[in-house]
Chain A
Amino acid sequence: MPEKKNAETNSSTPPIDRQEVLERIGGDEDFLKELIDIYKQEFAEKAELLAKAIEEKNFQVIREAGHSLKGASANLSLPALREAAWEMEMAGKEQNLEQAQKALTKLKKEYQRLLEYLG
């Protein structure tokens, strides 16, 4: 069973656990690049979708988009993004618009940090 990653994430921890994700995909660097590209595209789409859903108070979409972004982040070993996506999913579930707004800000900030890290 994978360990639960509830550890606090802060700006000093790297946004991607490269070793962990490489282990998971069998050490294939090219494949990792492909996955990162898929993630970038997915993130752009989901961020847009989420902004719109928050505007329209569509909690169902907030929850679903948060959930699937959480899965993607987990599979790519992006702990901070995973946490932010989880907060988004919870906000959708609890119908908390303020929390959703906060989670979106956090998602965007962490995504920016990832892009900078990847260079």
Chain B
Amino acid sequence: MKNTFVETASRQKSRFSVLVAEDDPLTKRLLEKKLKDWGYTVLKAEDGNKALKTIKQPEVRMAILDWMMPGLEGPEICSKLRQSKKPKYTYIILLTARDTSFDIIQGLEAGADDYMTKPINFMELRARLKTAHRILELEDNLIKAQKKLLKLATMDSLTGAWNRRTILSFIREELERFKREKNPFGLLMIDLDNFKNINDSYGHQAGDAVLKNIVKMLKKNLRPFDRIGRYGGDELLILLPNCNIFNTGIIATRLLEHIRKNKINFRHRATLSATLSIGGTSTDSISQPNLVKLIRTADRALYLAKKLGRDRVTLFGDSIKMEAKEKKNARKEKR
């Protein structure tokens, strides 16, 4: 590489900022100039403590750290950053004047991704930064894909409620908590009245829109920690943490009235009225509650609500517990 060449400045700006942590002013200026020419936004630090503070900033995704600096040394910064909870990955290149293999291993084990020895060969640095770019982009795409997959795997695509599997697993988790902490929770099973008629009169797209909007309206009337999921076609499940049978009834009634009183959009500027049937239960009204018992009890309550003429809330407990309560009351009356 003896030929002199003139590099052209990169016109394309990198979306990643680079931290240059270097106490030697000449090396720092050299790095700054080259990185700016290549389209990077450069942040600078002259000592280890400032470097650690700067590297934690979210926009800093790449860092060139000098090994030996006043305050903290390069490898210390690496290991401190890796232990921190910075959400996005930062690619670190350690700069060292030492070049024994022991140092290299120590640097990499501290969490550096790459290292370079001084004097800096800038062609090499540029190529290494391209690698950094590629790895950061892979990482970002992976995180994006994971988020998307998680959403696909847990959400009901039509209504935006949790899907059946996920709402059931939330109920299981809440049951575990109930066993430990004895804090009751409620469960509602909701069915849209005459949903078949809506589908028959306005078409399935209208039916879908109604379902979607009802979920939206219910969500607005729930507490932030309540969970709503789609159980089947037009059946919804709502998990109400921290509710005994009494609170469960209050919330169910509120939801029922809200849907009854408000018009539901099903097409552009077209609305209709709808009502719900709600069956509810809670862990304090069932003896040794488990998932099957809870669902079955809510389902029976819903069935009765429909049978009694729809547009109402019915609450059920467990017959054994109810009988026990009645016997207890009967004994009291005898006395």
In the complex the two chains form, is A27's CB within 8 Å of B4's CB?
yes
| Most A CB within 10 A of own CB, among B1, B26, B29, B122 | B26
From A24, A42, A77, contact of B122 by CB (8 A): A24
Interface string of A1-20 (1 = CB under 8 A from B): 11000000000000000010
Complex CA gap A63/B170 in Å reads: 61
Asked if B68 is at the interface of the complex by the 8 Å CB criterion, the answer is yes
User: Interface majority SS on B: helix, strand, loop or mixed?
Assistant: loop
Complex CA gap A27/B123 in Å reads: 13
In the complex the two chains form, is B4's CB within 8 Å of A72's CB?
no
In the complex the two chains form, is A26's CB within 8 Å of B2's CB?
no
Asked if A49 is at the interface of the complex by the 8 Å CB criterion, the answer is no
Interface string of B7-34 (1 = CB under 8 A from A): 1000000000000000111110110011
The residues in A between 27 and 60 inclusive whose CB is less than 8 angstroms from any CB of B are: 27-28, 31, 34-35, 38-39, 41-42
Complex CA gap A67/B25 in Å reads: 13
> Number of contact residues on B: which range applies?
20 to 34
In the complex the two chains form, is A74's CB within 8 Å of B119's CB?
yes
The residues in B between 22 and 68 inclusive whose CB is less than 8 angstroms from any CB of A are: 23-27, 29-30, 33-34, 37, 66, 68
Asked if B5 is at the interface of the complex by the 8 Å CB criterion, the answer is yes
In the complex the two chains form, is B119's CB within 8 Å of A38's CB?
no
Asked if A97 is at the interface of the complex by the 8 Å CB criterion, the answer is no
Q: Which chain B residue lies CB-closest to A67?
A: B68
In the complex the two chains form, is A71's CB within 8 Å of B118's CB?
yes
In the complex the two chains form, is A24's CB within 8 Å of B120's CB?
yes
Distance in Å: Cβ of B220 to nearest Cβ of chain A: 60
> Number of contact residues on A: which range applies?
20 to 34
In the complex the two chains form, is B27's CB within 8 Å of A75's CB?
yes
Distance in Å: Cβ of B323 to nearest Cβ of chain A: 83
Complex CA gap A77/B30 in Å reads: 13
Complex CA gap A70/B24 in Å reads: 9
In the complex the two chains form, is A26's CB within 8 Å of B122's CB?
yes
Interface string of B298-312 (1 = CB under 8 A from A): 000000000000000
Which residues of B are at the interface with A, using a C-beta cutoff of 8 A?
1-7, 23-27, 29-30, 33-34, 37, 66, 68, 70, 97, 117-122
Q: Can you give 29 contacting A-B residue pairs, CB < 8 Å?
A: A2-B119, A19-B2, A22-B4, A23-B5, A24-B119, A24-B120, A25-B34, A25-B122, A26-B34, A31-B33, A35-B26, A35-B30, A38-B25, A38-B29, A41-B25, A42-B25, A64-B68, A64-B70, A67-B68, A68-B23, A69-B24, A70-B97, A71-B24, A71-B27, A71-B119, A74-B118, A75-B30, A75-B119, A77-B119
